[in-house]
Amino acid sequence: MSEPLKTKLTYYGISPWEIEVLYGFLNSRFTIVQEEIENNDENFVSYLNIDIPLEFNEAFFKWFDFKRWEKVKDVLKEYKRRRGSRNALKIKINFEGNRKIVFIVDVVERQWFNNAIEKMDFVIELLPHHLDPEKIPKGIREVNYKFDVESVRWRLDKAMAKEKEYSFRGDIWKEIKKEIDQ
């Protein structure tokens, strides 16, 4: 028998009841490891990081069950509703794979937050274009997406290789020069 897949929930400022609801939807597919941490970002009252040990693709949604995914999205939107319209909630969802795909939802307005959560699945259609070896820097291991409220869509934000980091601005990747400590 194969070992069950493990997902990790790391959070602060999320009530035990809220975590329990999310846990219920994930528990049927994953073994869940939970870690409540100290607030490490003064800009957010609540934070949730979800590590999903599978690739972000259509096969994931078929395996996980689309209806269950819709319920997870509803829970995340409810977290935001319960916190009001200020910048109170940040969510990171990390999908493992050949390249780790990370979604960062830190939108202030509830309408845009909900829109970001709803449109996350649509990025699957863009991945072949975004991860085209002719366009993406060599050796990329992780690609981060952030929701852009002005264009009302998910945008490439950063990409990380072993020792380099890139930002995506306009239509090109630019290496982020790290300052050397002296």
pLDDT tens digits for 99-131? 999 999 998 889 999 999 999 999 999 999 888
Q: Is residue 16 part of a domain?
A: yes
Q: Which of 55, 47, 58, 4 is nearest to 26 (CA)?
A: 4
CB 27 within 8 A of CB 53: no
**Residue 36 sits in which domain range?**
6-175
pLDDT value of position 182: 45
Q: How many domains would you assign to the chain? A: 1
pLDDT of residue 1: 45
Q: Give the model's pLDDT for residue 2.
A: 62
User: Within a domain: residue 165?
Assistant: yes
Instruction: Give the pLDDT confidence score for residue 177 in this predicted structure.
Output: 78
CB within 8 A of 71, min separation 6: which ones?
A: 25
Cα atoms in the 13 Å half-sphere on the side-chain side of 55: 9
Closest CA to 49 of 13, 90, 85: 90
Q: Is residue 159 part of a domain?
A: yes
Spans of the chain below 50 pLDDT:
1, 181-182
Domain presence at residue 102: yes
For residue 180, tell me if it sits in a domain: no
Give domain status of residue 25, yes or no: yes
Question: In terms of pTM, does the model score above 0.75?
Answer: yes
Query: Does 60 map to a domain?
Result: yes
Fill in the DSSP letter of residue 44: -
Residue 123 lies in a domain: yes
User: What whole-number distance in Å separates Cα of residue 95 and Cα of residue 60?
Assistant: 10
Q: What is the pLDDT of residue 179?
A: 59
